A and B are shown apart, each in its own frame.
Chain A
């Protein structure tokens, strides 16, 4: 058997899971879809002594409309469910469009929204998209809960604001305002592999066609999803002319990301990709914004 031995619990309610986490703290590891954790256990890169499996908690799997008109996604909602959800397509089209880029069909059957967020892989799509959409996460513990915005959740490589006794139970993705547009651009060696570089853009125009809001978040560009705030700031108050987009892409790719070199690509090449992809993403996002009078 590949993984080292562990004690296994499969609670059927959230309360039961929280009580196990309260009792075992850092000794316990939460098992969601297992598509990242189990490979690491097979290699014995991680050897948790206690595994708390959430797969029997039916109450954690849902997709529904939020009070704000956005999307609420239960932590154990499978990628496949989001991929095939008309509600997700309507309320969070950026996330919906990204689903088919996430790994492979067999992985999407099991992989979960909350698992991807909690794992906080800087090469993954969902952490970056949650940040681009100003999403927030509901973290529960035995004696209470708190909401943490995506901008304060991702702290570093595979590191989040989650405490040992906390469970991420839900993600809330607010709707985009009217005249908003989005884009997700990636380059990967093979489709569905982790992107060498990726960027999500979300922009909003006013009635005069001037940019009022912009967010740019990069994938595989640092130790966490990397938001390019200065680049986004240069877009605001401007009509999206080509030179404006070029400048934002230049700032983001040269100053606001921190890509590393590895066997797949050099940092320099990744910055080059970031520059090109940012321009493409902004072009597409602004075009969608100009066509999109509706909320969402």
Chain B
């Protein structure tokens, strides 16, 4: 009989209670159990950064943590940033500066950038590149992503 745990977790401000197997990854829990498919699953071994979410405000790989480990923690996914009609300034900036093409890597980048700009509201280009070193994009060549982060920083400082 497989062990299960009663998990209480806050995701984007909403409290959820679910019963999970301990081997359930947080990334799969968010997508399958909560239906929050904004978090994308790429490599599933911590290399690509697509599944990045915030736990208690800090960026993590959601494929490298079990859901049960997030018990009584707060998670922010891309769905917690803005809505279709009311985009977060970072999302606006990515739209305006063409910071995405296919968009697969974008949710992980947006969440990572959110934590980064909260800690460093006026970053240099070098610091932006460092902050996004754990997020792979196979379309853009990064230049537009860097510019989008610079634009987002401006918007958030204003």
**Which residues of A does B touch, CB under 8 Å?**
1-8, 10, 34-35, 38-39, 41-43, 51, 53, 55, 80, 100, 103-107, 109-110, 190-192
Contact = CB atoms under 8 A, between A and B. Distances in A.
Contacts of A39: 45-46, 64
16 contacts: A1-B25, A2-B23, A5-B21, A6-B23, A7-B22, A8-B66, A8-B68, A35-B46, A35-B64, A38-B46, A38-B64, A39-B46, A105-B134, A107-B134, A109-B59, A190-B133
Interface in B20-64: 21-25, 28, 44-46, 49, 52, 55, 58-61, 63-64
A109 B62 CA distance: 12
B77 to A, nearest CB: 14
Contact of B24 (A1, A35, A100, A191): A1
Q: Considering residues A7, A34, A53, A191, which has the most beta carbons from chain B within 10 angstroms of its beta carbon?
A: A34
A276 to B, nearest CB: 24
A201 B44 CA distance: 36
Contacts of A35: 46, 61, 64
Given A1-B23, A5-B23, A8-B68, A109 B60 contact: yes
A4 B23 contact: yes
A43 B45 contact: yes
A5 B134 CA distance: 29
A1 B28 contact: yes
A192 B116 CA distance: 17
A104 B25 contact: no
Interface in B110-157: 112, 116, 130-131, 133-135
B22 A42 contact: no
Contacts of B44: 2, 42
Contacts of B131: 105
Contacts of B60: 106, 109-110
Q: Considering residues B22, B24, B130, which has the most beta carbons from chain A within 10 angstroms of its beta carbon?
A: B22
B27 to A, nearest CB: 10
A80 B60 CA distance: 11
A272 B117 CA distance: 40
A106 B65 contact: no
Contacts of A103: 134
B16 interface: no
B3 interface: yes
A105 B133 CA distance: 8
A56 to B, nearest CB: 9
B65 A110 contact: yes
B3 A7 contact: yes
B69 interface: yes
Nearest to A109: B58
Contacts of B46: 35, 38-39, 106-107
Interface string B93-114: 0000000000000000000100
Contacts of B25: 1-3, 38, 42
B131 to A, nearest CB: 6
Given A5-B21, A5-B23, A107 B61 contact: yes
A106 B49 contact: yes
A106 B112 contact: yes
B45 A42 contact: yes
A163 to B, nearest CB: 25
A268 to B, nearest CB: 28
Contacts of B135: 104
A79 to B, nearest CB: 12
Contacts of A43: 45
A39 B25 CA distance: 11
A107 B131 CA distance: 12
A51 B131 CA distance: 32
B120 to A, nearest CB: 11
B58 A51 contact: no
